[in-house]
Structure 1
């Protein structure tokens, strides 16, 4: 497979965490439960046929088993190969296959433009029926052979269980295949593991690259300056949409997508709202994460501590559980200079009740509504910002020695390895400990909203990524690429990501699927936090310049935490530099020029 062009001039930098890779690297995929069940049925069927001297038996069953396993493994099936696997004579097999196609169980798709050859696939109806069969069959095995009472509801498949994604009725015709740029996180790893299956679904090769957050934004900007985009689909961090839309780096999707009102309501509302700008939609969420306070239930119970509800509760719990002599710190958080610490500052200011920019208060707290020409004012000179600084200084006393070098993966790894009793961590990295039985935090983690400051309220700042189409994509590719985007962001596709290592659901229907919810208690926790109105976008509003403001906050307050600047000087510098950024944004808006803005750090 050909690599995408490297936007770093051929130079390579060390990856930030284990997820920053491209699709030329092959990972071991976790095979879907439905495939394992199909293989069990096939072996059972073979043994029954041999031992009991059966003839053709249920003639369609072998055909269905081969179609389903090939669909999940991304293997191409033709009429001849399916007939060979059926165990029937060739003529009988072909007649059976034709009958299944006529009854809507098999989908026949052209392999080539000439239309002379076709591939065969399970239809959406067959995948739905197979899901019913696998669900019921597993239940019967559990009840009757393992002698373990089933916890599943009687009456067959619950209405909430989503089927696997089916192939598109027509292959996508894209010269060179589908080129994708995404964020380096477990959802991308799941996409890469599922690469063969999605190539089967879309009918075209997929070439992917993943970057960490700062590198991703740099690559998006570099790509936007090209005459023609290197990518067809790009992942965009939710707070970037104001900047990316205003500078015309993304294509509006309103006229390209066939999303129904029901489909839109299925997506977590603040994630969808963050993907819009000035009333137009520029992205579709593929992953939604909440920044939460994770804490070890076993350690809290042993110490007689309750889940922290206030920032003072956090400090008290951290002081009690901080045992550096035993290799355990009280709490881990993003303290690395620049973007990592900047995100921590924004999240904590929100917990103290203050958005990073001035906003109006509404019935449910601060209200952000983007409007053309609105001038925003940063709030680093607020009382909540001063309280945030004081809280960070006190928090550092009970933090790991390397906390001022930590970014997203580092803090999750620290907590997952048992080196911290608590962590402020995004749920997208929960697989580090939720899916690792060797982790001390495995099945011993509770999830809570950000503890509130004196004037704040519990909140779960929303994070995540949406898939978008670059505005400089070749025009002839737009219609085809939009179909790929819809397929990759559908509810069945999201369920597939979660079944293969991601724990970040963008949709209510996916989170409430009982098979998905069973993967981790985190999924239901985040969904419940959304239902309570806690999963909010305003802590990281999608305004132009937000990335620079986040970086500025992380630079200035890092100087404070390392002792090279006072709290007063750090906040004053952050306020001044952020004002410069927003003034530059206003000038950019007026001129209509396409470029990034930023405040230069003062020399100390």
Structure 2
């Protein structure tokens, strides 16, 4: 992106932004949406220190040189991101111009009017944005709420399988498929895990798998994939329903079966996995004594290092492969999608400059540059075109399999983005952790989940639901993409 494109983009925004300010009575947009004010503007960008953060940090100087906009990028941990954003927006401080909220917080941010709706801005600047290039499942899971886009994805994570080819070969186990197959089931996955457990391969005592056990967020992220694949859902009707019903459904047969399944996975994992957070599992797999695991697709490259975003190669760096996620026979697959997407703070006084940054950071050109840095530690693409790029395919050969799982993704089905998600996740994740620590039965755990979530939702006004409902389907997001791309 060159400065001439920035000026053109900002000019295109004037009409839509003035229309928005006229509707809201806020004239702050008109003060910043003009060409001369972009030069010398400083914007504050708040994000989690996930892998995209480090790659983005490396290329931001190019944006600053080309636009004259100074970027103050701040990286924080997960809980700090939530608390900082909540405090800032509730107090109307205006100190966050761009933010990458967790996808599960989008409903709360949108309903609270903390983020600027981007539909009109995308339409005006779609020659640059190219919204039709984004994977629909990514936009649906990370950016869309009640028929509007509030963010653009900067890093999309699907869920896939990792395995050690040398271990499979030594034990005579057939490699799992790289693309989804009805024959690649969760029962088959467990069968392989148990075949590997306890075997000595080339002098290494092997564990069949490794799981995330720490609560609340890590275990919930990993566990929630199992019941989603088996057809279980958190609530009676949300979000794909004309009338939402937040009555929990954790005591279903599929949910109890899933809890038992996860306990079985833990039994075939290192005992210390009960305390593992995200990268602990990735590091353990990279250490060489884990046969197979499923995890976020960001670990497609992270397992190559001995520490998070480090430089030392792990023992498994040249001996791992990526496979498709298993499925449940007779059940439509729902693959977990997570990640982060940049949005413009609704109370920012620098919205034009913020929007220029969002467009640049999520562009195919910038994403490719981030991927091809010497660190080679970013491939969480949200755009379909990048999965076909020859240079990127050479650097990250697993991209076709990664695209397969992301394209099937439905983050809203796996971890439904109810507005009090953070509160529910804390309760759910800690209950799941206690199940592993204390060897609580699946049936008792299911009862606890149902009781606790019911109490929380009743106390916080979600049961019974009297608010607005919206039949939030992937098809409706595709219709929105078509509309925005057509101008």
TM-score, normalised relative to structure 1: 0.63
Tell whether 2:163 aligns with 1:284: no
Task: Please state how far the C-alpha of 1:350 moved relative to its aligned partner.
Answer: 1.0
User: Across the two proteins, how many residue pairs are aligned to each other?
Assistant: 419
* Residue 315 (1) aligns with residue 190 (2): yes
Answering whether residue 289 of structure 2 is matched by residue 422 of structure 1, we say no
CA contact (8 A) 1:319 1:398 kept: yes
Report the Cα distance in structure 1 between the residues aligned to 2:3 and 2:326, rounded to whole angstroms: 53
Aligned equivalent of 2:162: 294
Cα-Cα RMSD: 3.1
- 2:221 paired residue among 307, 321, 343: 343
**The structure with more helix, counted as a fraction of residues:** 2
Question: TM-score normalized by structure 2?
Answer: 0.78
Task: Name the larger-Rg structure.
Answer: 1
The aligned counterpart of 1:394 is 264
Q: Is the 8 A contact 1:350 1:456 kept in 2?
A: no
* Cα pair 2:235 2:246 within 8 Å, conserved: yes
Deviation at 1:423, TM superposition (A): 1.9
Instruction: List 4+ stretches of structure 1 deviating above 6 A.
Output: 105-110, 587-592
Distance 1:221 1:419, change over 3 A: farther
Aligned pair partner of 1:499 in 372, 394, 397: 372
Asked if 1:444 is matched to 2:319, the reply is yes
Equivalent runs, 1:66-215 vs 2, <5 Å: 172-173=38-39, 175=41, 177-215=42-80
Distance 1:302 1:458, change over 3 A: farther
Q: 1:437 to 1:537 in 2, by over 3 A?
A: farther
Post-superposition CA distance 1:341-383 (Å, at most 9, x none): 11222111112122223358xxxxxxx4376x73323221111
Aligned twin of 2:249: 379
Match of 1:218 in 2: 83
User: 1:453-492 counterparts in 2 under 5 A?
Assistant: 453=328, 456=331, 458-474=333-349, 477-492=350-365
Measured at CA, do residues 555 and 536 of structure 1 come closer, stay the same or move farther in structure 2, by a change above 3 Å? closer
- Relative to structure 1, is the Cα distance of residues 312 and 550 closer, same or farther in structure 2, using a 3 angstrom cutoff? same
Q: State the shift of 1:221 in Å.
A: 1.5
Report how far residue 540 of structure 1 moved.
2.1
How has the CA–CA distance of structure 1 residues 230 and 534 changed in structure 2, closer, same or farther, with 3 Å as cutoff? closer
1:589 Cα offset (Å): 8.7
1:66-124 superposed Cα distances (whole Å, 9 cap, x missing partner): xxxxx9xxxxxxxxxxxxxxxxxxxxxxxxxxxxxxxxx997999xxxxxxxxxxxxxx
Following superposition, the deviation at residue 591 of structure 1 comes to 9.3
Shift of 1:582: 3.2
Worse-superposed segment, 338-347 or 559-568: 559-568
* Contact 2:244 2:465 (8 Å CA) reproduced: no
Contact preservation (8 Å) 1:328, 1:420:
yes
| Structure 2 residue ranges without an equivalent (≥5) | 8-34, 177-183, 306-310, 469-487
Higher relative contact order (CA 8 A, sep 6+): 2
